[in-house]
């Protein structure tokens, strides 16, 4: 079975509609796909509202943002109840935080002379959960900056004028939302936080102590040594292992739908608990 348990749609920062995402996953040979948009289940619900019979299982998920020791961390909620009170609460809290952060970024950009129309920018995002990529796209589309890379290099990257502190819920709260919805809380792409091994171990241990249940052992295309290291940390702590492409857009070879390695045999797959 080909599992891909991390993907995004236009409901957050992906490039495809939910229907197009699922169709692309079918074409890629995916048997089970999780739609895990940032802080929202709107993409999954849109697909589910008119789903037709297809040779694929699509499960509801979400990717919540949080922080750990001042570092931005992502937590996947897999196989959640998208209509549960816990997910509705969590999504509302995080979307409010995203919008507030976006407004603060816009205000800062205006102060340095960029003519940004706040209402137009938020409307153009096409999502209730706007992030920096949506702001960057607006700046480019409206001729205020020449390209996406420049927007982050000059305005939105770390230490720049648009680098506004995250306002996310605490990790404990996020894991509670996921577990209260019947889902499994999984630490997303742990190798992408640029942590030393000792800090990564502390993150995983803190996550588990706060109710975390699994680790995304494979995220897109990664070195086999990374997979073995994360699988070892996973099994040593009796956590389940997950895997996903973290697909956003077609044409990105490092995160192609369904193009993910197999979990090491000593790692208990998350789907065994569903």
Write the pLDDT tens digit of every residue in 7-36.
999 998 899 999 999 999 999 999 999 999
Average pLDDT, the chain: 94
**Tell me, which fold does domain 92-156 have in CATH?**
DNA polymerase; domain 1 (1.10.150)
Answer whether 173's CB lies under 8 Å from 87's CB.
no
Summarize pLDDT for 96-113 with one digit per residue, the tens.
998 898 999 999 999 999
Answer whether 166's CB lies under 8 Å from 101's CB.
yes
Summarize pLDDT for 54-85 with one digit per residue, the tens.
999 999 999 999 999 999 999 999 999 999 99
What's 88-154 look like in SS3? HHHHHHHHHHHHHHHHHHHHHHHHCCCCCCHHHHHHHHCCCCCCHHHHHHHHHHCCCCCCHHHHHHH
- pTM exceeds 0.85 for this model: yes
**Tell me, which fold does domain 3-84+170-273 have in CATH?**
TIM Barrel (3.20.20)
Instruction: Return phi, psi of residue 164, to 5°.
Output: -95, 135
Domain boundaries, the chain: 3-84+170-273, 92-156
How buried is 27 (Cβ within 10 angstroms: 0-12 exposed, 13-18 middle, 19+ buried)?
exposed
């Amino acid at each position: 079975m080909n599992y891909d348990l991390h993907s995004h749609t236009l409901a957050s920062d992906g490039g495809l509609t939910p229907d197009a995402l699922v169709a692309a996953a079918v074409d890629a040979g995916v048997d089970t796909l999780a739609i895990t948009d940032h802080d929202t289940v709107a993409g999954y619900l849109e697909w589910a509202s008119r789903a037709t019979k297809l040779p694929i299982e699509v499960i509801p998920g979400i990717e919540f943002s949080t922080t750990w020791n001042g570092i931005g961390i992502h937590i996947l909620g897999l196989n959640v109840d998208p209509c549960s009170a816990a997910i509705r609460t969590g999504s509302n809290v995080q979307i409010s935080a995203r919008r507030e952060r976006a407004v603060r970024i816009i205000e800062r950009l205006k102060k340095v002379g960029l003519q940004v129309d706040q209402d137009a920018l938020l409307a153009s995002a096409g999502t209730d959960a706007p992030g920096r990529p949506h702001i960057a796209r607006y700046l480019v589309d409206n001729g205020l900056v020449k390209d996406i890379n420049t927007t982050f290099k000059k305005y939105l990257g770390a230490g720049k004028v648009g680098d506004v502190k995250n306002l996310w819920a605490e990790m404990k709260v996020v894991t509670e939302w996921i577990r209260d919805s019947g889902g499994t809380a999984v630490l997303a792409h742990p190798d992408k936080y640029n942590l030393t091994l000792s800090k990564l171990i502390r993150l995983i241990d803190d996550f588990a102590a706060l109710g975390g249940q699994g680790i995304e052992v494979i995220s897109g295309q990664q070195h086999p040594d990374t997979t073995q290291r994360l699988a070892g940390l996973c099994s040593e702590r009796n956590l389940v292992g997950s895997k996903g492409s973290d697909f956003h857009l077609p044409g990105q070879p490092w995160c192609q739908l369904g193009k993910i390695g197999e979990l090491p045999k000593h790692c208990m797959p998350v789907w065994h608990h569903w």
